[in-house]
């Protein structure tokens, strides 16, 4: 089946970029395990491809699919989310400035602070839930307003449309890390952003069996520039990884519906426990951006974090007390995971910096999977008992 321009999300997820193979009719995109392609004469390739860092048909299928899902003009796939972020920053020059959140994935913070700061790029880490802070941080050198929304691990939301307007007023681009939401729940480019970033490792892959990343640009000229850095720097994924992500994306919509339903039940269950001091989940009326969530997202997503009354010791006892939730970094797979960000995913951020942003030492983060809700709630009760 070929997709029409007005096809809906679920249909695009399964078909965009994935016509039956023109040679064999294979319905599933073949995994083109080749690094190079024959040429008829020097610089005259037989088909559209010359070398697989520059392009590979399995990767093209994924890139076309991602562009369709995010309503962009160009999708680019990378070997990891951080490789995608690296290519984004490769466009900048010494003296350029980025306004970003103070609640970010630890690896993103490390790439900004420990790698690109050394090349003369400047970063302002502000509370992006507060547009006045974003506005105040903008300078004539600002090139990106880089949002993670929902943020990792505190699930804070930034108003994408309003932040993009501020960015554009200062001559900067608005970039959104859409990893936690996925394009099924949130469409940053339609809201006014210019570039979307993904860790494909998470919900898009969906099965914790592949590491990958992506950029999607709205403007073709920016897409072309990013494609230059994708090829020039070379952080590209192999064809098998692209195939696995394509396979994951086909079920994204149905998986996300279940992730969201289970996470809503988990968040409500935790909030009702006297052992729990605070639950961070945008679907709860107690969340500071609950109203923005309803405006900006189809549903609040599958990630929940919380603080226990007993602090670090209680959090660690909880994380070791689950049976269905596996203690592990990462998120977005069909199976539920639990982790303690300060000692795991966000350990690369100095403790003082974390605490100043509101990330408590005892925070516990859940990636709520698609198992049966009752088994997940029973597992939380087991772990809460262990943490008592």
Kindly state the smallest distance separating residue 20's Cβ from ligand P1T, in Å: 30
**Where in 265-284 is the site for ligand P1T (CB under 6 A)?**
none
Which residue number has the CB closest to ligand P1T? 81
Cα radius of gyration rounded to whole Å, the chain: 21
Near ligand P1T by CB under 6 A: residue from 329, 350, 356, 385: 329
Cβ at position 314, least distance to ligand P1T in Å: 21
Decide if residue 148 touches ligand P1T (CB under 6 A).
yes
238: contact with ligand P1T by CB under 6 A: no
- Three-class SS state of 17: coil
The end-to-end CA distance of the chain, in Å, is 56
Q: Note whether 331 binds ligand P1T by CB under 6 A.
A: yes
Q: CA 150, 152, 157: angle at the middle one, nearest 5?
A: 25
Question: Which position among 211, 299, 319, 338 is part of the footprint of ligand P1T (CB under 6 A)?
Answer: 211
Say which residues have a Cβ less than 8 Å from residue 293's Cβ, sequence separation at least 6.
Answer: 157, 282, 283, 287, 300
Which is closer to ligand P1T, CB of 170 or CB of 366?
A: 366
H or E element in which residue 303 lies: strand 303-308
Binders in 188-207 for ligand P1T, by CB under 6 A: 199, 201
Cis peptide before 100 (omega within 30 of 0): no
Distance in angstroms (rounded) separating the CA atoms of residues 22 and 40: 20
Instruction: Give the one residue of 330, 343, 348, 353 binding ligand P1T; rule: CB under 6 A.
Output: 330
Q: Is 325 in the site for ligand P1T (CB under 6 A)?
A: no
Minimum CB distance to ligand P1T smaller for 37 or for 78: 78
Question: How would you class 203 by CB atoms within 10 Å of its CB: exposed for 0-12, middle for 13-18, buried for 19 or more?
Answer: buried
Nearest CA among 32, 30, 29 for reference residue 19: 29
In the complex, least distance from residue 290 CB atom to ligand P1T, rounded to whole angstroms: 21
Candidates 213, 235, 282, 342; binder of ligand P1T (CB under 6 A) is 213
Nearer to ligand P1T, 103 or 170 (CB): 103
Question: Is residue 179 a contact point for ligand P1T (CB under 6 A)?
Answer: yes
Q: In whole angstroms, how close is the CB of 11 to ligand P1T at the nearest point? A: 27
Q: How far apart are CA 241 and CA 250, in angstroms?
A: 15
- What residues have CB less than 8 Å from 78, skipping those under 6 apart? 84, 87, 212, 213, 214, 215, 230, 235, 236, 237
Our CB check for ligand P1T shows the closer of 14 and 337 to be: 337
Site for ligand P1T in 85-114 (CB under 6 A): 105, 107-108
Question: Which of helix, strand or coil describes residue 26?
Answer: coil
Question: In this structure, what token pair is assigned to residue 369?
Answer: 């999977």
Nearer to ligand P1T, 177 or 307 (CB): 177
325 contacts 279 by C-beta, under 8 angstroms: no
State the nearest-atom distance from the C-beta of 322 to ligand P1T, in Å: 16
Q: Which is nearer to ligand P1T, 170 or 303 (CB)?
A: 303
What is the phi/psi pair of residue 36, to 5°? -145, 170
Q: Supply the DSSP string of 55-98, one letter for each residue.
A: --HHHHHHHHHHHHHTT-SEEEEESSHHHHHHHHHHT--TT-EE
Q: Name the DSSP letter for residue 212.
A: -
Please provide the size of the chain in residues: 388
- Helix-helix angle 311-320:373-386, to 10 degrees: 130
Contact characters 43-82, ligand P1T, x per CB under 6 A: -------------------------------------xxx
Catalytic residues: 53, 105, 177, 202
Instruction: Give the x-and-dash track for 333-352 against ligand P1T (CB under 6 A).
Output: ------------x-------
Q: What's the min distance (Å) between Cβ of 267 and ligand P1T?
A: 18
Residues 22-41 that bind ligand P1T (CB under 6 A): none
- What is the C-alpha to C-alpha distance for residues 72 and 188, in angstroms, rounded to an integer? 10
Binding site for ligand P1T (CB under 6 A): 80-82, 105, 107-108, 148, 152, 177, 179-180, 199, 201, 211, 213, 329-331, 345
């Amino acid at each position: 089946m070929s997709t029409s321009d007005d096809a809906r999300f679920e249909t695009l997820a399964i078909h965009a970029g994935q016509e039956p193979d023109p040679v064999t009719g294979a319905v599933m995109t073949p995994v083109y395990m080749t690094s190079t392609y024959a040429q008829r004469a020097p610089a005259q390739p037989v088909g559209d491809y010359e070398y697989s860092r520059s392009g590979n048909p399995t990767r093209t299928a994924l890139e076309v699919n991602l562009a369709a899902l995010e309503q962009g003009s160009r999708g680019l796939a990378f070997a990891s989310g951080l490789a995608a972020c690296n290519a984004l920053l490769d466009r900048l020059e010494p003296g350029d400035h980025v306004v970003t959140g103070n609640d970010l994935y630890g690896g993103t913070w490390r790439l900004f602070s420990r790698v690109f700061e050394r090349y003369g790029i400047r970063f302002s880490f502000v509370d992006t839930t507060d547009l006045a802070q974003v506005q105040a941080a903008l300078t004539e050198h600002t090139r990106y307003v880089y949002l993670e929304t929902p943020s990792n691990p505190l699930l804070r939301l930034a108003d994408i449309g309003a932040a993009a307007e501020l960015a554009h007023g200062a001559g900067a681009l608005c970039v959104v890390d859409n990893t936690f939401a996925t394009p099924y729940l949130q469409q940053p480019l339609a809201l006014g952003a210019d570039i979307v970033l993904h860790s494909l490792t998470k919900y898009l892959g969906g099965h914790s069996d592949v590491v990958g990343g992506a950029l999607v640009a709205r403007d073709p000229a920016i897409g072309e520039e990013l494609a230059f850095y994708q090829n020039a720097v070379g952080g590209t994924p192999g064809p098998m990884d692209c195939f696995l992500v394509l396979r994951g994306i086909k079920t994204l919509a149905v998986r996300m519906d279940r992730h969201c339903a289970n996470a809503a039940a988990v968040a409500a269950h935790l909030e009702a426990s006297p052992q729990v001091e605070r639950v961070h989940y945008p679907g709860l009326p107690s969340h500071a951006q609950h109203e923005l969530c309803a405006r900006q997202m189809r549903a609040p997503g599958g990630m929940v974090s919380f603080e226990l009354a007993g602090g670090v010791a209680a959090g660690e006892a909880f994380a070791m007390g689950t049976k269905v939730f596996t203690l592990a970094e990462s998120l977005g797979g069909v199976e539920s995971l639990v982790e303690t960000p300060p000692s795991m995913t966000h350990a690369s951020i100095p403790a003082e910096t974390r605490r100043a942003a509101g990330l408590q030492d005892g925070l516990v983060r859940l990636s709520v999977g698609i198992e049966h809700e009752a088994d997940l709630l029973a597992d939380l009760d087991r772990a809460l008992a262990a943490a008592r």
